[in-house]
Structure 1
Amino acid sequence: MNQLKYIAFCLFLLLACSSTEEKMYVPQNPTSGGQPIVDVPTIKKSFLALGDSYTIGQSVPEKDRWSVLLNDLLAIQYQITPHDIIAQTGWTTQELMQGIMKQNLTQQYDMVSLLIGVNNQYRGLSLEQYRSEFRELLKISANFAKNDYQKVMVLSIPDWGVSPAGQNADKSKIGSEIDAFNGVAVEECKKVGVAFIDITGISRQNTDASMFASDGLHFSGKMHQLWAMKAQSTALGILKK
């Protein structure tokens, strides 16, 4: 009789352990080399990126644009859908406003980014014009972000003077002018509480050949990755609101 009780007890333990293992099973991710992942709920968010060649990713694949790379960094917590971009190589602040109007967008977004001004500097346009138009672009960005300036982030203008194409130009002049345009952007962002992310320093500190695209002027996906990483914490803060 005692032997039967012992066998029954062992069977009970075996079944209990099997039940526990089933509840704690973690599925294997087929894209992560078979490493176990925790399946967490995916929260859908939307993102609009506004700008020029640095936002559209001139001379880099679409997957290497900084805003797309940022979405990859956020993917553990958020599914960014849709992710829209209004940007074109060569655009100034005025041309970006015109481009936005032509799109006739009615979508509202959980986050909006703005990176604009290098072509204002390149064409020798005034700081006064930039200030006025940049201020208007901040309003437009907030309008797309549910009328909330705190859902907008601005990235500073990178320094193209450090590129291979800028080696024969007056790098000191380019740098000081870009600093002046960024200074205006900082002032206007502070007035309305918009987050400002400095990526200019990153562009100046990382100047080996791998950081530049094949055209010798724009930055490579490797640089875009650094910008995305710099923007990650700010983006997380915005999306949690």
Structure 2
Amino acid sequence: MKTLKDYQKALKKARKKGDETEAEILQAEIELKFSSQKSSESLSGFAPINAKAPIKVETINLDGYLGPWLGPISNFETGILIRGDKGAGKTRLLFQMMNAFVNAGKSVCFFTLEMDQYHTVIKNYMNDYIQGANRPEIMVASEVGGMEGIHRAAQHFDVVAVDSWNKIPNLKQTDFNDARKKNQNTVFLAIFQSTTGRATRGGNMPEFDCDVVVHVHEGGIAKFEKNRFSPGLLDYDVFRQRMLQSGK
């Protein structure tokens, strides 16, 4: 069976000989046999804008004030990045989010890489922000063993929370986006260490890749710098667990 390359060689040879009739026949055969194939190949990867996703996509509405503050969250390639001032309440906010996701029926794992899982602070935050019935539902680990550990966890849990992402060994800037893309139905909640200029330590590429960027300011006021799920008109008081008008 002749391939497109075979026909193209024959066409080139016919034109070189000046055999216009043969060239026209070969050109017609190429268009007849291969034009539809080329069209199909050129559109590979495209789909109608209203096409159904190949995996299950749902909207997650969290309870309490976190729900209306964050907005309706998609579980498709979703990343929520938390950074902030020292002692402002980043980890407290992460615990509140984990509790809300369990209330929404989601399985959650938590990599506590800044402090050991048995540290007093972690125990206190668990008692303060995780409802009693939810505590057995959150699996905790103090070591991750690189991005392989993140990917393994994402295969088993709906939500993977990390404090902090920068503590993952041998980290690359692209790893956060790779985690989202390879584990499309897992929501990633990650605290990132900040520079003194309130930028993500290690590079800001994850901020462009994720759906939500929250900066927790001194005093526990969490403000959106980016939110694809909500217009972000409200701030959130982490310590009092309530919403505020933006700028208040």
| TM-score normalised by the chain length of structure 1 | 0.34
- Highest CA radius of gyration, 1 or 2? 2
Return the structure number with greater strand share.
Answer: 2
Return the structure number with greater helix share.
Answer: 1
